[in-house]
Every structure is written in C-alpha cells, then in structure tokens.
Amino acid sequence: MASTPLDLVLVSTPIGYLGSGRGGGVELTITSLLRGLGQRGHHMHLVAPEGSRLPEGCEQVHLHPVAGEDQPSWQHADPDGPVLIPSQGVLPKLWERALDLASTADAVLNFGYDWLPLWLTPRQHQPIFHLVSMGSVARVIDALLLDLARWDQRRLAFHSRRQADDFGLPNPPVVVGNGFDLSRYALQVQTGGPLGWAGRVAPEKGLEDAVSVAARLGEPLLVWGLVEDPAYAARVEAAAPAGTIQWRGFLPTTALQKELGGCRALINTPKWNEAYGNVVVEALACGVPVIAYDRGGPGELVQHGVTGWLVPPDDCDGLLAAVQQLDAIDRNACRHWVECHASQAIFAERVERWISRGLAPGDGSISTCP
C-alpha cells in the first residue's frame, strides 16, 4: 500500500480500444498497472477509445470511453513522415477528456506513443508522465522526446535500457520494465512439446525466421497473435512446407498461457529494437525457455544459459543450434526470474516511485515556484 495514495488519470493508446489486441503489448501494460496501482491504494480514471472494457479486478477504476477514429500507428509510418491526425481522430478527444479530469488529479500517465501528448506536456499546468512504449521509429517523435528530456526528463520512463538508448537522452533513463499477474500463469515443468512463437504478425516481428527453424526440424510451429499484416502472413506461410505453421489466433491470457506453457521453447525473432518483450516474460512465467535474438528488450530479459539462449540477430543457424540445447535449461529457473523481476506488484511499485519522485519539489518543471 502506498504511503500517500495518488489520484491518477491514465490515457490509453489511441490505436484501437482496450481489449481489441490492436494496441499490442501496451494493452497488457495498462491492465497490469490498473491492477497493481489499484492494489497499492491509488485512485484512477482511465480514458480510452470507445469499446474499451475494464479488465477483471479493476472495478474501482473509473472508465471514460471516447468516440473517434483510430490513430495511425507510427510503427509502420515513414520515419521521415509528417504528423497525421484524422479529422475525427480519437487522439485529440482522448486528451480533451484527460485534461478535464486532470484538473483535480495529481498526475496524468500517458501510454500512447504519439506526437500530441508529448507536445502538450511542457505547455500544460497538469503534470503529464509518459511510459514510452517503443524505440525510435519516427524522427519527429525522436526530436520531441529529446526536447522533453532536456526540459524535464523526470516525465519519461522506459521499459528497457536498450529501448531508451535509441533516444540519446541527456541523463540516465528511468527503466521500469513491465509487470504480470503471475496468478494467471501456471508453471508447466514438462520438457517436451512443440515450438512456439507469439506476437503481432507483422514484418518487424520476424516470424519467417522461426518458421524456417521449424521447417528445418520437420515439425510444426504454434503461432499466437493478431495477424496485423495478412499479406505478410500469407507470404511466410507460402514459403514453408504445408502444415508448418499452426495458427492459434489472438487468445486471452488464460487460454494463451495454457497452450504456450506446453511448448518446449518460445522462439523470439524481432527485426527491430523491441522496447521490452511481453511474450518473452509470459513464456518464462509458464516455465518455457526462450530462444531470442540478442536485440532490444529481449536481450535484457533472457538470461543466457539460465532461462534460455540469446542468439546473434538474424542468425537462423544460431536459433537451430539453441533448440538443440534446451535440455540444459531448468524450467523452474524461468519462473523464478519472473517472480523476482517482472511481477505485477514489482512493476506497480516502480511506476509509483517514478511518478512520486517526479512530483516531488526539486529541479525541474514540476517543482513548485518559491
């Protein structure tokens, strides 16, 4: 329980309603914090696109649904492209509502990776904090993040150090990781089972590399996640022997962890600088070793030779060799790492500490004037 409960306004991603799966890992992050901060006694309002649902166990949170058109994702935009906001876009409407609520709140916590909330931050009396969800994908965002860091870097936190390194920050970053409700993940200690892969099915996730490993082994690969790019998914499937990919779809946590926990390994093959790697931790929570490219957040999450194996980026031969060393991994060690480093409670405490320190008087724009 926090010594001084905070009144917080949380602003969800503008890329799909909460529960749609379109927000990717941000949805899991929001759910974890709603539960974790609630258990610590904080009072929360959640501003989210219309259609959003409060997760189970978050009945004390006040939900404020906002209608509007989804915001285009920066993830797939031209890195040198302009800022685009649809004429009926939900993004500015989310922030109109959030700033209204913020007049009686201690702070606003933003989860959307976009230009508008970053631009608003130094121009508002209400303190706005940003849990940055991606690495560098657009120069206009990079420049704005750096300007904000120079103004008051206490407003920013990141999921991993490798993610933060993308932005050339003037000071060491606040790194909060992520958190998981471990009561929802069952440890499965059997060592057999198929290989698995999980994530949004899109080119930057590198599904084709995991498929190639399964094909060389002559066995199926179970694939979970939202098919964000159907043309890409079709190309990957067509390039592999028939039946290699077993599409499992986008599943809620209860169903996902049950199936994923039966795998002998999760293969994680990002082609970009992943901010964290939620599916890596979800697998480890089930006792499933992870074989991952040593790139971005997964390179900080997997303990080489203890909870899985790290492979040089884009090295499919290395992935294959690692599959053949899985017997050396103790599945209990995988679960133990998550309990020590990525529980919902630990994550909520880190975020609480970050915001509380940012609100405290001292150097920076949030401090009260003498």
pLDDT of residue 369 exceeding 50: no
pLDDT in tens, 276-325: 999 999 999 999 999 999 999 999 999 999 999 999 999 999 999 999 99
7-179+344-359 shares its CATH topology with 182-341: yes
Tokens of 18: 């909460």
For the chain, what are the domain ranges? 7-179+344-359, 182-341
Burial (CB count <10 Å: 0-12, 13-18, 19+), residue 367: middle
Please tell me what DSSP assigns to residue 82: P
Q: Which long-range contacts (CB under 8 A, 24 or more apart) does 51-56 make?
A: 51/17, 51/19, 51/20, 52/12, 52/17, 52/18, 52/19, 53/17, 53/18, 53/19, 55/31
pLDDT in tens, 38-68: 999 999 999 999 999 998 889 899 999 999 9
Average pLDDT across the chain, whole number = 94
* Percent of residues in the chain assigned helix, strand, coil, to nearest 5: 40, 15, 45
Alpha-carbon distance of 357 to 351, in angstroms, equals 10
Strand partners, 178: none
CATH code, 7-179+344-359: 3.40.50.2000
CATH code, 182-341: 3.40.50.2000
pLDDT in tens, 230-249: 999 999 999 999 999 999 99
Alpha-carbon distance of 276 to 159, in angstroms, equals 6
pLDDT in tens, 214-229: 999 999 999 999 999 9
Tokens of 335: 């679960």
On whether the CB atoms of residues 156 and 139 are closer than 8 A, the answer is: no
